[in-house]
Amino acid sequence: MLKVENLKKYYKTKDVEVKALDGISFNVSKGEFISIIGASGSGKSTLLHLIGGLDYPTSGRVLIDNTDIYKLKDDERSIFRRRNIGFVFQSYNLLPMLNVYENIIIPFGIDGNKVDKKYVDLIVNVLEIKEQVNKMPNELSGGQQQRVAIARALVTKPSLILADELTGNLDSKSSSQVVYLLKKINKELGNTILIITHDDSVAQAANKLIRIEDGKLVMNNES
């Protein structure tokens, strides 16, 4: 369901050309849970942004469900991204004036769609935040806020979930709980998940591991 072909992203700084990504290629099948691991500056976040259509590659292609996302016009790509990709970032990006339930259903309002209450309830139960739905974000722990962010990413039933260092702000216990929940989501709901991380313990939770160094893919293994 995801094909990355010879993806490159080059930046020019004065007289120096920086190769943030230098010819990355790999395929992801529907329902896989994949970790992309690398040190800071390795290019892993750049890769995630390009897969998610948040930036433009210098060259190469990204195909999601057979759609070449960089052949779409800007507005078409925005709509495609909103309907097919769920993002979870290190910063939870919850709106402080809305309660948990209202934060979760934000994507329905953006697209003007009716809230699928049954599916929202399912996600809330899978993520074990049923008791928090009427609370405000500032009443939650970091781990709980991250679960809300994951729930918001799931509500439109995207085919692909992209998570960027989602455990970076969490302690080890909360990190383990969030990783456990991602595995649960992958198994019970069937979402394809790509998680960017520098943490080997987080990466090993996935079914497949991709390692990036200096903008190049150096390992693509079953975990």
Domain harbouring 162, CATH code: 3.40.50.300
Q: Could you tell me the pLDDT band of residue 223, with boundaries at 50, 70 and 90?
A: very low
What does the pLDDT look like over 118-147, one tens digit per residue? 999 999 998 989 999 999 999 999 889 989
Domain around 160: 2-222
Q: Is the pTM of this model over 0.85?
A: yes
Number of domains comprising the chain: 1
Which residues, 6 or more positions from 190, have their beta carbon under 8 angstroms from its beta carbon? 30, 31
pLDDT of residue 13: 80
DSSP H helical ranges for 85-171? 100-104, 106-111, 117-126, 142-154
Q: Cα–Cα distance between 161 and 222 in angstroms, integer?
A: 19
